[in-house]
Amino acid sequence: MRLTTKGRYAVTAMLDLSLNYGLGAITLADISDRQGISLSYLEQLFARLRKQGLVSSTRGPGGGYRLSRTADEITVLDVISAVDEKVDSTACEGKANCHGEEACLSHELWTSLSEQIRVYLSGITLGQVVHNHEASKHADSVIKFDSIQVGQL
């Protein structure tokens, strides 16, 4: 399985919305600036995310996008699937016709791997990723702060 920029950017943009959840509607221009993702590419992604019900939009001044549910209710797999990203490690796209019209010797291995990836990504919410990111940033600042204190003693 190879996750393309479409899936990576969609997850990153949704994480940005998650981080800014309480601030109201977030413009795609703001996400573009913060994350370094092309505005036109974000427009394409958010059309798909809105169609799949993961975000809602508001037009006009003060408009933008919001998560349609809390970050704890949206999985990474939801986001990847919404932008038509495939979570499949098989060469035959799961059709079992990889060796002529039959499954190849390793078909079940790759099918099992694909299922494990789906299970893993469906078990991680945007809220968990944001929480882990924030905890990691906090831990780094505590370590840096502690090292300054020790160095000054």
- Contact call for residues 10 and 82 (beta carbons, < 8 A): yes
What per-residue confidence (pLDDT) applies to 86?
80
**Burial (Cβ within 10 Å: 0-12, 13-18, ≥19) of residue 117:** middle
User: What are the beta bridge partners of residue 55?
Assistant: 67
Which residue in the block uniquely carries the two structure tokens 């694909």? 114
The structure's pTM equals: 0.80
DSSP code for 68: S
Domain at 5-86+123-152, CATH from 3.60.15.10, 1.10.10.10, 3.40.50.620, 3.30.70.870: 1.10.10.10
Question: What percent of the chain is predicted at pLDDT more than 70?
Answer: 84
13: Cα separation from own chain's centroid: 7
| Section 80-88 average pLDDT | 85
> Given a cut of 90, is residue 145 above it in pLDDT?
no
User: What are the beta bridge partners of residue 64?
Assistant: 58
Question: pLDDT digits over 48-82, tens only?
Answer: 999 999 999 988 888 899 999 999 999 999 999 99
CA distance between the termini of the chain? 51
